[in-house]
Each structure stands twice: as C-alpha cells, then as structure tokens.
C-alpha cells in the first residue's frame, strides 16, 4: 500500500471511504495502523479498535482524540437526550479513510486532535440493512425499529443545532457481517482543519452529503443544514489558541461557500 498523498484526487475521491469500505482494510482491527512509507510522520497513535459499543476500557475512549471544546459541545448537545451515545472513531491513519480521520492539529504540549468524530448509539448495529427491514425483523433485533431509528434522527438534529456539520451514515461492515449506523460530525470551531473536511463542510452548507456523489440526502433523508448554528460555532475558531496545524493543508476553515452563508 502506498503512503497517503494529500492530492485532490485522493481526498475528493474518497472523502468518506471509512464509512463505505471500513472492513476491507485494517481499520476495524487497528485504528492508527502504520502506513508504509510514512516513517517521517510524527504522529504515532496507540492502536484502538473501531468501536461498535461504548468502551469499558478508558484507554479505548476516543473522546481523547477531540479538542476539549469539541468534547464539551458534544456532551452539552447530547447528554440531555437520554440516549447512550459514544464515539466509534476519532483519529485514524487507516489508508481507506484517505486521510479523513488523521489529525488536524496538535497542542503546544504535543497532544493531537481530530476535528471529526464518528458517533453511534449503544447496541444499534444490525444484521439487515434498513431498506430491507421488515417489522418482524425489527422486533427480532435484526434491524432498527422505528423508535431506534428516531434516536439517530434526534442525535443528528441536536448536533446540527449545536453547530456541527453532521450526517447520518448507514454502511455494511463486511468483516463482522453487520450494518453500522453512525453520525459523521465535523466541528467547525477547530482552529486547524484538513482540506478534505473543509470540502465536506462546504457540502454541508449546500445541503449535500459530503461524499463523492454530493447528493442532497443522507440516511436520515433530505439534508437540512442549520447554517446559523454552524456559522456561530465556526466563529469560535479564532478564539481557540495554543494549537498548531498537523500538516500544511490544515488551516482555519475559510472558503467562498462559508463566506456566502456566514460572511467573513
């Protein structure tokens, strides 16, 4: 496997391969697998499995991969819902992620952060895809019941209302033979954000899905961005100090799309 490249093709063509092709690589076994040829990369993460349930070992709690401000915003938005949520993926070097989950920045003391997190809900992995789910299969726990599906919709709305660029994703994990359900959420308040995530946020502001097809729907249906909340949260970026970019393409989020909806 060749080392990851920050080329436009790599990041555009696989903006979210980690949500589509997870199980074809090492991601489910080892978060942070070493990429051949990347020996000069200063980031050497502790291997963490892709989580399908809330971690019982605090060493596997991937909140550690997020900015303190991101963690605080997530808990503020979601803890009052009564839904048991957890982070399935924070930082990852897996090649199939095409760099989407690599670090965005690091503190002056050397700790790294990701501006993106994949979030799921305890126990909601299924054997049957949602588009083929029958009521009897849902009652048997093989796919999501309408009530469980609504939990994801509630979490999605809360995250968008808190200012995150967020999408509900539904994908097949070939290794485990189950369907995963998660929310891919980007924090625009991060002081440094990689190019692929900035393009995904542009997509969100346009009401698109952040994937290569740029469709107007995700697993929850039509995409309705909360642009006002997003712009308020993005404005916090300038106030978060004490960090530096992970690499040269990690910069503060600015784009023509952001200027159109949020102003300068």
User: Which residue range is the domain that position 84 belongs to?
Assistant: 8-262
H-helix or E-strand spanning residue 202? helix 195-205
Lowest mean pLDDT among 119-123, 161-165, 242-246: 119-123
If DSSP codes are grouped into helix, strand and coil, which group holds residue 120? strand
Lowest mean pLDDT among 17-31, 128-142, 220-234, 250-264: 17-31
The count of domains in the chain is 1
The number of CA neighbours under 13 Å toward the Cβ of 12 is: 5
**pLDDT score recorded for residue 120:** 87
Which has the closest alpha carbon to 96: 179, 35, 181?
Answer: 35
**pLDDT score recorded for residue 89:** 84
Mean pLDDT of 142-146: 79
Lowest mean pLDDT among 43-52, 65-74, 229-238: 43-52
For 15-32, letters b (16+ CB in 10 Å) and e give bbbbbebbbebbbbebbb
Per the domain annotation, does 3 fall within a domain? no
- Are 187 and 179 contacting, i.e. CB atoms less than 8 angstroms apart? no
**What is the spatial distance between Cα 210 and Cα 69, in angstroms, rounded to a whole number?**
23
Per the domain annotation, does 1 fall within a domain? no
Beta strands in the chain (DSSP E): 85-89, 105-107, 112-113, 116-121, 165-173, 178-186, 217-218, 221-222, 243-245
Percent of the chain with pLDDT over 70: 75
Per the domain annotation, does 69 fall within a domain? yes
Per the domain annotation, does 29 fall within a domain? yes
What number of H helices and E strands is found in the chain?
7, 9
- Are 244 and 192 contacting, i.e. CB atoms less than 8 angstroms apart? yes
Per the domain annotation, does 136 fall within a domain? yes
Per the domain annotation, does 2 fall within a domain? no
If DSSP codes are grouped into helix, strand and coil, which group holds residue 251? strand
Flag whether pLDDT at 130 surpasses 80. Answer: no
**What is the spatial distance between Cα 91 and Cα 75, in angstroms, rounded to a whole number?**
19
Mean pLDDT of 20-32: 30
Label residue 229 by pLDDT band (50, 70, 90): very high
Flag whether pLDDT at 1 surpasses 80. Answer: no
Flag whether pLDDT at 27 surpasses 50. Answer: no
Over the chain, what is the mean pLDDT?
79
Per the domain annotation, does 14 fall within a domain? yes
């Amino acid at each position: 496997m060749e080392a990851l490249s920050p080329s436009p093709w790599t990041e555009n063509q696989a903006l979210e391969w980690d949500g589509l092709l997870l199980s074809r690589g090492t991601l489910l076994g080892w978060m942070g697998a070493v990429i051949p040829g990347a020996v000069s990369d200063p980031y050497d993460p502790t291997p963490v499995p892709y989580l399908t349930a809330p971690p019982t070992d605090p060493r596997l709690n991937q909140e550690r991969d997020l900015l303190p401000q991101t963690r605080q915003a997530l808990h503020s938005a979601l803890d009052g819902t009564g839904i048991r949520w957890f982070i399935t993926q924070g930082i990852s070097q897996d090649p199939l992620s095409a760099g989407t989950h690599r670090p965005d920045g690091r503190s002056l003391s050397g700790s790294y952060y990701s501006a993106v997190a994949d979030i799921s809900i305890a126990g909601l992995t299924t054997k049957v895809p949602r588009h083929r789910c029958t009521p009897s299969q849902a009652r048997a726990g093989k796919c999501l019941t309408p009530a469980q599906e609504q939990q994801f919709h509630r979490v999605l709305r809360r995250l968008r209302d808190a200012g995150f660029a967020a999408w509900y994703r539904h994908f097949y994990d070939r290794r485990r033979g189950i369907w995963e359900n998660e929310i891919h959420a980007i924090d625009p308040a991060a002081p440094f954000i990689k190019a692929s995530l900035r393009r995904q946020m542009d997509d969100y502001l346009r009401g698109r899905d952040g994937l290569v097809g740029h469709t107007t729907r995700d697993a929850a249906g039509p995409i309705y961005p909360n642009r006002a909340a997003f712009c308020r949260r993005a404005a916090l970026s300038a106030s978060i100090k004490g960090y530096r970019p992970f690499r040269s393409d990690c910069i503060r989020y600015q784009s023509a799309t952001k200027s159109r909806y949020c102003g300068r």
